[in-house]
């Protein structure tokens, strides 16, 4: 049983039915390209979201007229939370530092027109587990030192809702793209199955002769099986190129614009490429198996 013989037979059959073979390759390409785009986009956005989640800060603004002992009590509360493992780190931002940050962000012209420094001092608190940010923030809602407007908790600010909405959007996009991927994968299986059926029909006399001279079922099956595998392989290969382009162009732009948020790297793309190759081969093999099971008896 020579591999080169089966390979030559598979390529010969594809050449005779090149239109259907190309359609099968293109469909596998579309399904693997979409799958690659799904995985690249999902994992990069999840990585970016994780980095952003780790940057979620609770800002606790301090009343300007707070006595030093109350401010000291507030810091002690934060120290206790840190010792308990609920707070990862914190930074005290004085009124002067807050104004300097404001000046750097919005320019000297705006600051020059301010008669006084209206910005309060604050503590910037990074929690250990972002899932507990609500719980930690709530501990400061009713603190007398916190600069809350009457009836509100607006003296404590954090961006958990932004991260939550972003993760929800990522999940929705991912589900939609998975559905499209599955649809095109099913179409690829059907097209490959149809291509192999046409090859079997075109070579039906040859198949009968091979049976008469004692060829085994698997000897007859292998060229057709390899035809589907080759179509799946080449379709996946083109899909990988698209996935790499999506990563290197779109994702690199996103990474550059995301304030140094690190996304997945090159080693990830190597692993993804291997996964897509395997998926393409499996799609081709399944399509061939469907055709062979029906048109060549075991």
Domain count, the chain: 2
Looking at the fold, whether 167 and 151 belong to one and the same domain comes out as no
> So what's the pLDDT on residue 298?
41
HEC-encoded secondary structure of the chain: CCHHHHHHHHHHHHHHCHHHHHHHHHHHHHHHHHHHHHHHHHHHHHHHHHHHHHCCEEEEEECCCCCHHHHHHHHHHHHHHHHCCCEEEEEEECHHHHHHHHHHHHCHHHHHCCCCCCCCCEEEEEECCHHHHHHHHHCCCCCCCECCCCCCCCCEECCHHHHHHHHHHHHHHHHHHHHHHHHHHHHHHHHHHHHHHHHHHHCHHHHHHHHHCCCCHHHHHHHHHHHHHHHHHHHHHHHHHHHHHHHHHHHHHHHHHCCCCCCCCHHHHHHHHHHHHHHHHHHHHHHHHHHHHHHCCC
Which residues make Cβ contacts (< 8 Å) with residue 91, sequence separation at least 6? 123, 124
CA 79 vs CA 87, 124, 129: distances in Å: 8, 13, 16
Q: 95 with 199, same domain?
A: no
Residue 122: give the domain boundaries: 57-158
pLDDT at residue 83, rounded to an integer: 93
CATH number at residue 112: 3.30.70.3040
Say if residue 141 is in the same domain as residue 274: no
Domain end point (choices 124, 158, 192): 158
Structure confidence at residue 189 (pLDDT)? 77
Nearest-CA neighbor of 125 among 70, 169, 80? 80
Residues 77 and 220 both lie in one domain? no
The predicted pLDDT at position 123 comes to 92
Residues 287, 167, single domain; the answer is: yes
* Domain end marker among 158, 182, 216: 158
Last residue in a domain, options 123, 158, 193: 158
pLDDT of residue 92: 92
- Whole-structure pTM value: 0.53
252 and 180 fall within a common domain: yes
Ranges of the chain whose pLDDT falls below 70: 1-7, 9-10, 13-14, 17, 20, 44-55, 110-111, 160-164, 166-167, 170, 199-204, 206-208, 210-211, 215-218, 220, 250-266, 292, 294-298
pLDDT of res. 80: 93
pLDDT in tens, 279-296: 888 888 887 777 767 655
> Are 73 and 150 within one domain?
yes
Render pLDDT for 203-222 as a digit per residue (tens, 0 to 9): 667 666 766 777 666 676 77
Whether residue 45 is found in the same domain as residue 184: yes
Same domain, 23 and 133: no
| Phi and psi based region of residue 260 (left: phi greater than 0; alpha: psi -120 to 50; beta: remaining) | left
């Amino acid at each position: 049983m020579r591999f080169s013989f089966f390979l030559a037979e598979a390529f010969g059959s594809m050449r005779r039915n090149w239109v259907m073979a190309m359609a099968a390759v293109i469909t596998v390409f579309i399904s693997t390209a979409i799958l690659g785009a799904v995985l690249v986009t999902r994992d990069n956005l999840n990585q970016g979201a994780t980095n952003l989640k780790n940057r979620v800060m609770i800002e606790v603004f301090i009343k300007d007229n707070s006595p030093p002992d109350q401010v000291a009590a507030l810091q002690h509360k934060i120290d206790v939370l840190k010792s308990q493992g609920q707070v990862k780190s914190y930074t005290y931002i004085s009124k002067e530092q807050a104004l300097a940050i404001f000046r750097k962000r919005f320019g000297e012209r705006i600051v020059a027109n301010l008669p006084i420094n209206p910005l309060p001092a604050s503590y910037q608190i990074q929690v250990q587990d972002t899932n507990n940010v609500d719980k930690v923030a709530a501990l400061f809602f009713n603190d007398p030192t916190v600069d809350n407007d009457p009836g509100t908790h607006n003296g404590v600010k954090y961006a958990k809702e932004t991260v939550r909405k972003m993760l929800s959007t990522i999940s929705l996009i991912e589900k939609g793209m998975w559905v499209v991927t599955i649809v095109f994968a099913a179409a690829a299986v059907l097209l490959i199955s149809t291509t192999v059926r046409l090859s079997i029909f075109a070579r039906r006399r040859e198949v009968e002769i091979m049976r008469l001279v004692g060829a085994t079922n698997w000897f007859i099956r292998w060229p057709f099986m390899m035809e589907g595998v080759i179509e799946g392989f080449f379709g996946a290969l083109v899909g990988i190129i698209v996935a790499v382009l999506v990563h290197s162009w779109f994702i690199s732009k996103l990474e550059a614009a995301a304030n140094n948020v690190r996304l997945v790297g090159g080693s990830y793309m190597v692993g993804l490429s291997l996964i897509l190759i395997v998926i393409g081969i499996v799609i081709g093999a399944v399509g061939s198996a469907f055709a062979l099971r029906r048109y060549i008896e075991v």
